């Protein structure tokens, strides 16, 4: 069986962005506003042509609809994709022009950082619109670096998946983390605190060395990490980590990590099931960051962010249980749940 999920819906709306003087060339894609304003970050990347940027924006906006709905947020899905101007360019002018474009949508799209953009860019955007998050955090309120929240959500999901597969806690188990950047290192620390033994890999040897010293983590090469003897594999580097060779090499019976788009192709979900591996779907477990961004936009507190991030564990367990009961891969179950939530006009904030 090849698991199929995701009804490809065309985005409801897209807006071409163009301001030659400011170097702005891109698109805002709005996939869904059924649950609220379309929320999703702004990516600045090199694209050969406008069509490639648009395709990426549609795909990413769709992904945000699923992630936001699954996280119970009162937001739909959207994304901005900007083509990086060749050579040197005036960053401030570019993001101010982008801010003016966001403002024209009058709150139907809410932006934040993504690959290639940062807090200072969002501060430029904020000069022209209030429909932006990912800015400097104010005391007591949500905001700032989303990575610790993403790490906490993945950790809660990992505990739920381990309980599902091994009927145990993390203590004494081996957790293999591929990519120990902002989220991966935070996750490693949390797992260590729960008594797990760590094996880590990264293309940056310094990051591994730091965790070896701090947590007593074993360091292996990036090509070896998926195949090490471990109970849990956590992909926390780039997307597409779960290709056929990697899935066949896995010793772990739980896969739960922060990276987006972990399945190299949809049929990898079936291969994971065939191998008896409990795969916690990426967008379910890595929603802590967008939960923080959403709360910042809504002016909510850190306590509210924490409450919502702590729901990721039970949600992961519900999905794994349903997948086991219905004989379906967990990503298929997750997509169906998210699609149902997307139909609900009333957001289900818990």
Residues making contact with ligand NAD (CB under 6 A) = 146-147, 150, 178-184, 201-204, 207, 222, 236-239, 258-260, 286, 289
Collapsing DSSP to helix, strand or coil, 83 comes out as strand
- Determine the residue with CB nearest ligand NAD: 181
How many Cβ atoms sit within 10 Å of the Cβ of residue 213?
9
DSSP 228: S
Neighbours of 329 (CB within 10 A): 25
Comparing CB distances to ligand NAD, the nearer of 257 and 329 is 257
Active site residue 79: yes
Q: Which of 79, 104, 159, 306 is catalytic?
A: 79
| Diameter of the chain measured on Cα atoms | 60
CB of 206 to ligand NAD, least distance (A): 9
Closer CB to ligand NAD, residue 204 or residue 340?
A: 204
Q: In this complex, which beta carbon is closest to ligand NAD, that of residue 12 or of residue 71?
A: 71
Structure tokens at 201: 């890999």
Report the residue number, 1 or 238, with the smaller CB distance to ligand NAD.
238
**With contact defined as beta carbons under 8 Å apart, do 166 and 253 qualify?**
yes
What is the smallest separation between the CB atom of 147 and ligand NAD, expressed in angstroms? 4
For the bound state, the minimum distance from the C-beta of residue 250 to ligand NAD, rounded and expressed in Å, comes to 15
CB 193 within 8 A of CB 326: no
Helix axes 288-298, 147-166, angle to 10 degrees: 140
Query: Could you give the angle at the alpha carbon of 258 between the alpha carbons of 134 and 290, nearest 5°?
Result: 30
If you count DSSP H runs as helices and E runs as strands, how many of each does the chain have, helices first? 13, 12
Least Å distance, CB 187 to ligand NAD, is 9
Residue with smaller CB distance to ligand NAD, 201 or 255: 201
CB of 278 to ligand NAD, least distance (A): 20
Copy the structure tokens of residue 322: 């349903």
- Crossing angle of helices 182-193 and 147-166, in 10° steps, is 50
Catalytic residues: 79
């Amino acid at each position: 069986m090849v698991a199929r999920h995701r009804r490809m819906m065309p985005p409801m709306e897209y807006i071409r962005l163009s301001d030659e003087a400011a170097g702005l060339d891109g698109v805002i894609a709005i996939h869904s506003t059924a649950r609220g304003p379309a929320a999703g970050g702004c990516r600045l990347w090199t694209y050969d042509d406008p069509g490639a940027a648009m395709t990426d924006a549609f795909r990413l906006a769709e992904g945000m609809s699923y992630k936001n709905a699954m996280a119970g947020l009162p937001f739909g899905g959207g994304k901005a994709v900007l083509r990086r101007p060749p050579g040197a360019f005036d960053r401030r002018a570019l993001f101010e022009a982008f801010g003016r474009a966001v403002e024209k949508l009058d709150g139907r799209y809410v932006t934040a950082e993504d690959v290639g953009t940062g807090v200072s860019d969002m501060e430029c955007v904020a000069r022209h619109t209030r429909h932006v998050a990912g800015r400097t955090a104010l005391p007591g309120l949500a905001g700032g670096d989303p990575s610790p929240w993403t790490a906490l959500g993945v950790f809660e999901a990992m505990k739920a998946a381990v309980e599902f597969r091994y009927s145990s806690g993390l203590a004494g188990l081996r957790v293999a983390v591929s990519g120990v950047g902002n989220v991966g290192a935070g996750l490693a620390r949390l797992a260590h605190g729960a008594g797990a033994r760590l094996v880590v890999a990264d293309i940056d040897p310094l990051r591994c060395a730091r965790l070896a010293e701090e947590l007593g983590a074993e360091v292996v090469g990036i090509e070896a990490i998926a195949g090490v003897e471990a109970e849990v594999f956590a992909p926390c580097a780039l997307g597409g980590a779960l290709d056929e060779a990697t899935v066949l090499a896995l010793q772990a019976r739980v896969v739960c990590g922060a990276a987006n788009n972990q399945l190299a192709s949809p049929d990898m979900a079936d291969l994971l099931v065939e191998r008896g591996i409990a795969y916690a779907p990426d967008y379910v477990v890595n929603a802590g960051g967008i939960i923080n961004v959403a709360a910042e936009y809504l002016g909510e507190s850190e306590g509210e962010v924490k409450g919502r991030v702590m729901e990721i564990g039970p949600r992961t367990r519900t999905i794994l249980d349903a997948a086991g009961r219905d004989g379906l891969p967990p990503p298929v179950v997750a997509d169906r749940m998210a699609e149902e939530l997307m139909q609900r006009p009333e957001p289900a904030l818990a």
